[in-house]
Structure 1
C-alpha cells in the first residue's frame, strides 16, 4: 500500500476513535447517570429513544467507517510488520476493533436480550 493512503487511514481512524471515545465518555458519564435517577420504565423508554435516534444519525457511518479503517490498518500492520510503526498500527487497529466495535456489538445484543 502506498504511504499517502496509509496516512489517510491513520488520520481517519484517529479522528473517528476520538469522536467515538468522546461519545462513549459522555454516554457513560452523563446519560447513564441521568437514566439511573429516573423511574425504571421511563429510563427504558428514554434508552429506546436514544437507540433509535443514534441508529439514524451520523454515529453509524463514523462507527462503521472507523471499524473498516481500523481493520485495514490491522492488515497493513500485519503485512508490513518489519517496517517501523507497523506493530503500533497493528495494535491500534486490533484495540479499536476489540475494544470499541466488538464490545459495542456484544453490549447491544446483551441489552436487547435483557429488555425483552
Structure 2
C-alpha cells in the first residue's frame, strides 16, 4: 500500500504518525516535509475534500498566524483559508496522511489506522 504523509519533523504527533507508518508492513511511504514543499492550493483542497473535512477544520491555529490573519473568525471563508494556507503552509494542521483508502488528519496519531 502506498502512503504519503505531509510531515513536520518538529511536531510530536507527526513524528508518532510517521513511526506508525514506518512500522506497518507493506507500506510504501513517501514523506513530504510540507513546510519545505507545501502542497498546491488545488492539492490541498483535494486532500481536505478526500478527508471529508473543511479547510476550517484543517486550519492550524496554535503556533500559527491564523488569528492575526482573521482566519478564525466565523466569516472567514474556505476560499480565504485555502489561499492563506497556500501562501503560509504553517497554517496547515498536520499530519495529513493519504493512502488508497482515503485521507486523514491524524490528530491523534491513531487515526492513521483507519486508512491502513
TM-score for both structures, normalised by structure 2: 0.28
TM-score for both structures, normalised by structure 1: 0.28
Q: Which has the higher helix share?
A: 1
Q: Which has the higher strand share?
A: 2
The structure with more radius of gyration: 1
The answer to which structure, 1 or 2, has the higher relative contact order (CA under 8 A, 6+ apart) is 2
